[in-house]
Chains A and B, each alone.
Chain A
Amino acid sequence: MAKRIDIGSLSAYYGKFKAIEDISMTVEPKSVTAFIGPSGCGKSTFLRTLNRMHEVAAGAHVEGKVMLDDEDLYAPGVDPVAVRRTVGMVFQRPNPFPTMSIYDNVAAGLKLNGRYKKSELDAVVEKSLKGANLWNEVKDRLNRPGSGLSGGQQQRLCIARAIAVEPQVLLMDEPCSALDPISTIAIEDLIGELKKKYTIVIVTHNMQQAARVSDRTAFFNLAAVGQPGKLIEIDDTERIFSNPSVQATEDYVSGRFG
């Protein structure tokens, strides 16, 4: 079920502004790929091009190819809504739906997209919450609002919501940056579990986190403010943090940047 992503010379624009330029890389299935780089280098923009969330912003468009196994996500006739069901996403700030209970939050992706039997939904909700390591904490209060949970629990609820629709790929945009260290560890452990089933791409500002959770790491950088962000290199995480092939990467990961 996990899929390989092949990105071929991809550029993304906000109106006339080119945010990322000519990025090509391969994301391996059933592994964690981390994106690191300074603020504004286009990591998040790039991530959002992988499930066609980039074009939600006004005036945003993309050039290039994103191949999910053999399918080009940007080929004419591809429905972005269907793409997002295949490539799930977890956001920086936990964003459970405030009008919905914990149960309804997890079931939202299914409920809003079709009709399911109550028993089917029950099974999916339990499986997803267990998958997100949240089941034991919330199983007695599934009908309470999701916004009553702590920040870390809310983020795991959002992960459960994302995996409930059984995507092939899970994109995570700084999923721990709004959380405390204990919740962060919980999410990182969860990422380790999830990579057995999913292809995971995670954007992070925390280099220790990238080193801890990822198999491969991609370093992005931009020449100057106002210039498009570029992929500097992608390699095994171990190599990026010990012996990268580009000097800029070494400067960044060792803290000598700028």
Chain B
Amino acid sequence: MTATTTLPATEQTDALGIHQPRLPKWAPAGIALGAAAVGVGIGTVAGLSSRIQWGLIAALLFVLASYAISATVEGKRQAKDRFATSMVWVAFLLAVIPLASLIWETVSRGIKVLDAYFLTHSMSGVVTIQPGGGVYHAILGTLEQVGIATLISAPIGLLTAIYLVEYGKGKLAKAVTFFVDVMTGIPSIVAGLFILSLWIMMLGFSYSGLAGAMALSILMMPVVVRSTEEMLKLVPNELREASYALGVPKWKTIMKVVLPTSIGGITTGVMLAIARIAGESAPLLLLVFGNPVINGNPFDGAQAGLPLFIYEQWANGNEASYDRAWAAALVLIAFVMILNLVARGIARWKAPQHR
């Protein structure tokens, strides 16, 4: 396979026994290339059709070769180190490849019909088998539904977390923690069914963006509570004590010292929770219902939403609809990505300064 080189024997006497032959710096890269080449070779010769098989063979070869070469040249301890390192690299690649391929697929297919017209028009009057139409009504719906869900769940989640960290002790706090844990595990379709039976079937309201937002807020709330709780716990107790020692009451200490110190992390947590619910389709299917025309009023009547739009277009089962589904998926991914970037920006901007 790849050539192995050892460092030139050291001139000095090695009285302490601290010198050891090391593989050159490029060795891991070389072994990886060699393993990839052999993997491709085996794949072609054996006529394996799946590229995944080629890759797995190459990965296996890489790990084994790293260990074997290192063991012969560098000794056992180094070989174990190389083994662990190569496993980490393989795991990293295994994790990244599906992600990269997903983004590549979405971008390359979605870019086809994604233009200003697509972003500014609805599906009103468009026959599904024809190209044209747009996603404006779905973007509007998603923004409104996610916005309302955030308005409902962020304050409740924030206050719950403050209660749990700053005030909560005893049975009530334990019960709240338990139910937050339970809520974390609620499948989105169950949240949707709950609102459906309560809001639409029992109370007799109609389909609306608000109904969807309520289901989304059920999903969002535990995420906000959990992340805010962690951020508040990170605030050193010394800061609270410093504030108390100045004669500042507890509520003001929380408002002026604890929250400002952790606001960056809290905002990031809320943003990530928004990103998590923006892609939920099941509750929208039950509660928002979907609508090809623009309905800007989230409190009345069926609306559209991006995940719902993707589902509907895909279900149409023709080329023009597939294109629209991919483009909408791209818009949704971009939306979530922008939220993530904004969250990072806020976290960096609000982080306690040190210089």
Contact = CB atoms under 8 A, between A and B. Distances in A.
Contacts of A230: none
Interface string A36-64: 00000000000000010100101000000
Nearest to B263: A99
Contact of B246 (A93, A99, A108, A147): A108
B77 interface: no
A214 B169 CA distance: 41
Contacts of B11: none
A147 B353 CA distance: 7
Given A56-B240, A95-B238, A97-B261, 13 more contacts: A56-B241, A58-B169, A88-B245, A93-B238, A97-B239, A97-B242, A109-B247, A112-B252, A113-B246, A113-B247, A145-B352, A145-B355, A148-B354
Contacts of B352: 98-99, 145, 147
A147 B256 CA distance: 17
B185 interface: no
B244 interface: yes
B248 interface: yes
Nearest to B240: A56
Interface string A69-83: 000000000000111
Interface stretch (A1-9, A14-22, A158-166): A158-166
A104 to B, nearest CB: 10
A112 B245 CA distance: 12
A95 B247 contact: no
B257 A97 contact: yes
B353 A85 contact: no
Interface in B230-271: 236, 238-249, 252-253, 256-257, 260-261
Interface residues of A, number: 31
Nearest to A101: B353
Nearest to A52: B244
Given A93-B238, A99-B260, A112 B355 contact: no
Contacts of A81: 244, 247-249
B243 A147 contact: no
Given A93-B238, A95-B236, A165 B355 contact: no
A112 B243 contact: yes
Contacts of A145: 352-355
Interface of A: 51, 53, 56, 58, 81-86, 88-89, 91, 93, 95-99, 108-109, 112-113, 144-145, 147-148, 158, 161-162, 165
A91 B169 CA distance: 26
Nearest to B246: A109
25 contacts: A53-B241, A81-B247, A81-B248, A81-B249, A82-B247, A83-B247, A84-B244, A85-B246, A88-B245, A89-B245, A93-B238, A95-B236, A98-B261, A98-B353, A99-B261, A108-B248, A109-B248, A112-B248, A112-B256, A112-B257, A113-B248, A148-B353, A148-B355, A158-B242, A165-B246
Contacts of A53: 241, 244-245
Contacts of B355: 144-145, 148
Contacts of B169: 58
A150 to B, nearest CB: 12
Interface of B: 169, 236, 238-249, 252-253, 256-257, 260-261, 352-355
Q: Looking at B169, B236, B256, which has the most chain A CB atoms within 10 Å of its CB?
A: B256
Nearest to A85: B247
Contacts of B242: 91, 95-97, 158, 161
A86 B247 CA distance: 8
Contacts of B247: 81-86, 109, 113, 165
Give me the 8 closest cross-chain CB pairs, A-B, nearest first.
A85-B247, A98-B352, A109-B246, A89-B245, A95-B238, A84-B247, A145-B353, A99-B260
Contacts of A147: 352-354
Contacts of B260: 99
Contacts of B248: 81, 108-109, 112-113
Contacts of B257: 97, 99, 112
Contacts of A51: 245
B91 to A, nearest CB: 36
B241 A91 contact: yes
A89 B240 CA distance: 13
B239 A95 contact: yes
Contact of A84 (B240, B245, B261): B245
A145 B353 CA distance: 6
A162 B244 contact: no
A168 to B, nearest CB: 12
A78 to B, nearest CB: 13
A110 to B, nearest CB: 9
Contacts of A82: 247
Nearest to B353: A145
A68 to B, nearest CB: 14
A197 to B, nearest CB: 18
A214 B333 CA distance: 66
Contacts of B252: 112-113
A99 B256 CA distance: 10
Nearest to A105: B242
